[in-house]
A and B are shown apart, each in its own frame.
Chain A
Amino acid sequence: MSTAAAAHPPYSMPRVTLGRAGTATLLLLPIALVNAMGFIVPVLNLLRMSFYEALAGGGIRETFTLASWSGLFRDAFYVDLIVNSIVVSLSITFATLLVSYPIALYLHRSSGRWRTFLTVLVISPLLTSAVVRTYGWIALLADQGPIVGSIAALGFTPPRLMFNTTGVVIGLTEILMPYMILSLLAGFGRLDPRVEEAAMTLGARPSQTFWRVILPLTVPGIALGCLLCFVLAVSSFITPKLLGGGRVFLLATEIYDQAIVTLNWPLAATLSMLVLIIFGAALAVYARVLRVIE
């Protein structure tokens, strides 16, 4: 009960005949309908689907079988796929942390209009479609592109940067940077310049100040940013699909292919549930890290 309703019951009570509970139910009905139709029922159905049997040609038999689940761990292709997805996502998370940390630290130390301007620069890529940003990376990383061209001009063997894992890691690192920077900033609250000052006054070198003072104080932000980026990397689809060119097999691209191309919905559902299990595991690791540093 709100304080207003408690303080002035005669005036705050709805005078509609429906009564308070009835009015509330009626007002919540639209959002509850969408939630049920587009979220609760589909997700429960997806869980059920992962225990159905897939028949040849896209058919489904409504039984209860662990075939899709056990198939995942017996087929070497899927074991590789799962391990590869996790390893690639961890590399992306680490790379994103490396390139985001200096920007976040710089932003944390700046102030006024300059800080607002830089914050807008960090947020602005979030307002641009992932398709557009991936397209930009295709232009940059192409075989005739500026990066491969400059490497060749310096006399090195030009590497392939596109349609392989390298391209996916580069593209996703950039795409996830804003999330990492914003998470780091949110966790930088405990970083007080006076603490750094104290360390330096006591004779610490800049590198010592960083490793012994700044870094430990920013661990909460690092943990939050890494959790968010890992979760987003494991489930990202657009960038791996376009920059991988069908040659990089990750969980999200495989879910799409199984659902749309192969029409094996039970397997697609099982892979989806696996993504959610990986989310849960990442969350558990995060909670553990937070408990250790507290």
Chain B
Amino acid sequence: MEAGQTSVPMKIVVFILFLFLLAPVLLVIPISFSGEQILTFPPASWSFRWYVALTQNSAMISAFWTSLLLGTIVTVLSLLAAIPAAYVIVRMRTKGSEFLYNLFTAPLLLPTIVLGLAILIVFASAGFLGSFWGLVIGHLVITLPYALRVLATTLGNISLACEEAASTLGGRPFTVFRRVTLPMMAPGIVAATALCFLVSFDEVVITLFLTGPRLTTLPVELFHHVESRADPLVASVSVLLILLTLAVVMVVDRSVGLSKTFVK
């Protein structure tokens, strides 16, 4: 055997482990075409009935629209807050920059169950529970650190030369930022947009603490559905969610390239 090579039995082991890793995600695709009343695998009959059931499930549909609107608003606000913050921290460096960066990304160090409870207690006394803007703030707490991290890294990798040239030629600081810095940050902005949207759209634990009876997001609705009964409806939603995620990832890939976005 040559060094650094993998033997055949080892390759079989790796294949089985990959199967284990991907099994639950792959499984939802056949289950979504089940013709059965309850969740079984493999299904005894096949049909589109659970996709039809989905179109008639108003709770799921309204939860989907809530999630979509929430994700969009949270993403826009994250960019609006994180781009200036990244600029100050990277370009207007002072002694406190590193401290501020650590402080603003610190929420990612806390488990969401602890963060969710902490926000619940404060929001309950402020009357923010079950409100849309309460959810927006709750999501911003975890999307902003991601956005800041991606944007600060992007900005840090951009050479100062172009900005210096522009200001030497008499550009005002804001003009230089808008016409030179911002366009150069484009790949980072696309990556931050995708990341913020996916994080917000996928968030369950913090949201679970903040939603009310009249306002739920899609992941929370799915969680409650799985908790209460086992039928193939969740599989059909899951397949649509996987397609949506694929679409977002492909848009990112087309515009900036995946390896540039997720592998630093």
- Point out residues on A near B: beta carbons under 8 Å: 1-5, 7-8, 11-12, 14-16, 20, 23-24, 27-28, 30-32, 34-35, 37-39, 41-43, 45-46, 49, 99-100, 102-103, 105-106, 109, 116, 118, 120-125, 127-140, 142, 144-146, 171, 174, 177-178, 193-194, 196-197, 199-200, 206, 209, 231-232, 234-235, 237-238, 241-242, 252, 255-256, 259-260, 265, 268-269, 272, 275-276, 279
Contacts and interface: CB of A to CB of B under 8 A. Distances in A.
A1 B113 contact: no
Q: Is the interface of A mostly helix, strand, loop or mixed?
A: helix
B235 A135 contact: yes
A93 to B, nearest CB: 15
Given A102-B10, A128-B25, A255 B113 contact: yes
Contacts of A238: 204-205, 223
Nearest to A260: B209
6 contacts: A24-B92, A121-B22, A128-B242, A136-B25, A136-B27, A260-B209
B27 to A, nearest CB: 5
Interface of B: 1-7, 10-11, 13-14, 17-18, 20-28, 31, 39-42, 80-82, 84-85, 87-88, 91-94, 100, 103-104, 106-107, 110-115, 117-122, 137-138, 140-141, 144, 148, 160, 163-164, 167-168, 170, 172-173, 198, 202, 204-205, 208-209, 219, 222-223, 226-227, 230, 234-235, 238, 241-242, 245, 249, 258-259, 262
A2 B92 contact: yes
Given A34-B140, A209-B3, 13 more contacts: A2-B92, A5-B92, A14-B173, A28-B84, A28-B85, A31-B104, A34-B81, A103-B17, A106-B14, A138-B230, A142-B40, A171-B24, A178-B21
B220 to A, nearest CB: 9
B222 A15 contact: no
A45 B168 contact: no
